[in-house]
Amino acid sequence: MILNVNGSIPALVIGLNTDRRAAERDEASLAELHLLAETAGFDPKARKLYRKEHIDPANYLGIGKAHDIRRITRENDLGTVIFDFELSPVQIRNLKEIIRQRVVSRTELILDIFAKRARTKEAKLQVELATLIYALPRLRHMWPHLGRIAGGIGTKGPGEKQIEMDKRRIRKRIAKIKHELVSVKNHRMTIRKNRKSKFKAALVGYTNAGKSSLLNTLSHSSLFTENRLFATLDPATREVWLGDGVTMLITDTVGFIKRLPPTLIASFMSTLEEVKEADLLLHVVDIDNSDALERIDAVNTVLKEIGADDLPVLYVYNKVDLLERRDTKALLLNRHKNCVVVSAKTKEGIDVLKRELFTYYGETRSQFEESGSSPESVVLHPTKMSPV
């Protein structure tokens, strides 16, 4: 394997545009893939966005573009090619045969990042489960030399037997992990029962929007933060003082991303239950990002997938300190009336956010009093906050 002096792996990142009207979107996606590659430990020396109207079922890009990629990797001594899309097992095999370098799909890259970022036993189990589910149908093409060791008519050669043995091992491991995660889920349910009478909010948002930093500022705690994608995977809950004896619990959750692998969403479902159980979602948005609107839509898509799209939402536009032109926030503010603008770093707008939360708490509390019910038996629904 080719390595740089610092241990990073030189790579080429590849995107594909099939609609000229979406060229800018695909360029932004390729730029994000570049950041994902860096997060995973690669050194993207070059990137290229190809144009093709139709996907080639054999090798996705077409044989001509595949040979062009081979030329680029040879001329620049790049040992890995990372694609900004999902590849079928057959496409991976065919591309490897032409390019003669390591081929990595967007899903594999994200799974690799999650594996490196996982710290707790639960996160490690969730990532391992997602990786195994992804790898299971791809075993034959991950180990092509085994497939070539065939037996006679009506028999199975050693290669076929090895693949079947690997599949059985993976299925057993998947079953064991799922069983372990059930115990984790039950433990989380017990914790949530103990918090039922508490006013609860969950921080959601695109990865690197500053959710952990915001929770640190609100709660005066010291959660791990880093200016990288998926810096934290594990949920963390802190108590936040709103004033006049009112406190609330705020939970930081894993960041989302466009085209988040379905296997990861399924594997992290026990963690994402924290989102579904919240009384209010604080959707944190990096206001300085030019792709902010698309990222909001990407997060809302995931919320819908996990069944949390009917919860009340307060949009929190973070990193206003990085905004060179303050008038550029007008578009976002007009789109979402129920929002506040803050900087977790400089604490600008934090008092405003706390006042909004205090007001929201007061409105829901008056609903309890009018209905004659206790907080323990009533699901909170705001009068002014709109659903996602």
Q: What CATH number did the domain enclosing 270 receive?
A: 3.40.50.300
Residues 277 and 172 in one domain: no
CA distance 240 to 242: 6
Q: Are residues 232 and 123 in the same domain?
A: no
- Does 74 share its domain with 167? no
State whether 138 and 98 are in the same domain: no
Q: Cβ(284)–Cβ(205) under 8 Å?
A: yes
Q: Which residues in the chain come in under a pLDDT of 70?
A: 1-7, 140-160, 191-197, 222-233, 270, 325-336, 365-388
Q: Write phi, then psi, for 86 (nearest 5 degrees).
A: -85, 140
Taking the C-alpha atoms of residue 329 and residue 5, their distance in angstroms, rounded to an integer, is 42
Residue 197 has what pLDDT?
66
Strand ranges (E), the chain:
9-17, 42-51, 80-83, 102-104, 200-205, 236-243, 246-252, 280-286, 313-318, 339-341
- Which residue type is seen at 301? T
**Is 202 found in the same domain as 174?**
no
Identify whether residues 87 and 220 lie together within a single domain. Answer: no
How many separate domains does the chain show? 3
- Name the amino acid, one letter, at 159: G
**Contact of 116 with 41, CB cutoff 8 Å:** yes
Look up the domain containing 73 and give its range.
Answer: 9-104
- At what angle are helices 158-194 and 269-276 packed, to 10 degrees? 30
Residue 19 lies in a domain: yes
The span from the CA of 125 to the CA of 15, in Å, is 31
At 274, list the tokens. Answer: 């924290």
Q: Are residues 162 and 17 in the same domain?
A: no
Last residue of a domain, one of 70, 104, 138: 104
Q: What's the CA gap between 91 and 68, in Å, rounded? A: 16
Query: Rounded to whole angstroms, how far apart are CA atoms 339 and 281?
Result: 12
Buried b vs exposed e over 332-363: b needs ≥16 C-beta within 10 Å? beeeeeebbbbbbeeeebbeebbebbeebbee
Clarify whether residues 253 and 284 are in a common domain: yes
Residue 237 in any domain: the answer is: yes
| pLDDT for 43 | 94
Q: pTM of this prediction? A: 0.80
Same domain, 127 and 215: no
How far, in Å, CA of 317 to CA of 289, rounded?
11
CATH for 59: 3.40.50.11060
User: Does some domain include residue 124?
Assistant: yes
Look at residue 256 and tell me if it is in a domain: yes
* Of 76, 104, 132, the domain-final residue: 104
Q: Residue 112 domain-assigned?
A: no
Please indicate, yes or no, if residue 309 is contained in any of the structural domains: yes
Q: Are residues 347 and 203 in the same domain?
A: yes
Residue 99 located in a structural domain: yes
Question: Is there a contact between 153 and 105 (Cβ–Cβ < 8 Å)?
Answer: no
Cα 164 from chain centroid (whole Å): 32
Whole-number pLDDT of residue 332: 63
Same domain, 166 and 251: no
In a domain, 4, yes or no: no
Based on the fold, state whether residues 363 and 221 are members of the same structural domain.
yes
**Helix (H), strand (E) counts: the chain:** 14, 10
